[in-house]
Structure 1
C-alpha cells in the first residue's frame, strides 16, 4: 500500500508548503534550513478552522500535534505564559502538553502541566506561573532547543504522523 496525505488536509498541506516557500510539497520533505519549521507554523494556521477538533479527530496524530503545539507556541512567543494561556485556552495548552509527551518530550509536557496548575490557582501572577514552568529540569526550556528538536522528530517520523494507507 502507498502512504498518502489524507484528502481532508491535502490542500492545507500544499498551502502550508507554498506559504513556507518550500520547493517540495509536503514541506516536511524539504532539506532547506527553516522551511520545515515555517511549514509547521503555517500548517497549524491552516488547521485553525471553525471546529478543529472534528477535523483533527479524523486525521493521523501529527495534525493534532502540529495544531496544538504550534498554535500554543505562537501565542506563548508573542504574549508570554499568562496571556498566551488566556488567549489560547487551557484546553489547547493541555493538548499541547499531551502532544509534547507523545513525541517523547516529557519534560516539556511536565513543565507545561505545572505551569497550567499554577495558572489555575493564580491566573494573574505572571512570575509564579513562569517560575512553575522553569522549576522543571527541562532540556527543551529554550525555544532554540525545543522547536528544532520537535520539527526534526516530526519530519524524521512523517510516515507515522502525517500519512494514511492509500
Structure 2
C-alpha cells in the first residue's frame, strides 16, 4: 500500500542506479517522483519503476516550491545547463552527487555559463548524510534521510 502523498516532489536527474533507488524509496516515503533524463537514448532498459513521470526537461517536471532536485551524475555534458536552469525554477532544494573532498565539475560548468558564485552556493554538495554510503541504495538512503531532516528543520549531518 502506497502512503498518502504530500506535496513533496523529488526530481532525480539522469537515469542512473542512484536515481532508480531514489525514486523507489522516494515513492515509499510519500514523495511524488520524477525522473528527468534529457537524453532518451540513455534510458536504462524497458520502462520500469521510474516513479510518477519520466520527462526530458525541467519545464515538464513541474517544479514547485515543494520540489527537491537531485542530480545523480556529475560527469554528464548537460550538467551545467540543468543546474543553471534549476536555479531559476523556485525549487526548494537543489543538490548534486560528488565527493566532498574534490572540487565538483559543476563549479567550472556553471562559471563558464556566467552563473554568479552566490547562486552556485545554493547547490548542495555533498547531498546525503555522512553514513559512509557506497552503493546506489545507500547513497539514496543517505540523500533521502538528509532531505527529510532538512524539510523538518533537523540537523541531519550535512556537515562533513
Same fold (TM over 0.5): no
Give the number of the structure whose residues are more often strand, by fraction.
2
Give the number of the structure whose residues are more often helix, by fraction.
1
Give 1 or 2 for the bigger CA radius of gyration: 1
Give TM-score scaled by structure 2 length. Answer: 0.34
Give TM-score scaled by structure 1 length. Answer: 0.33
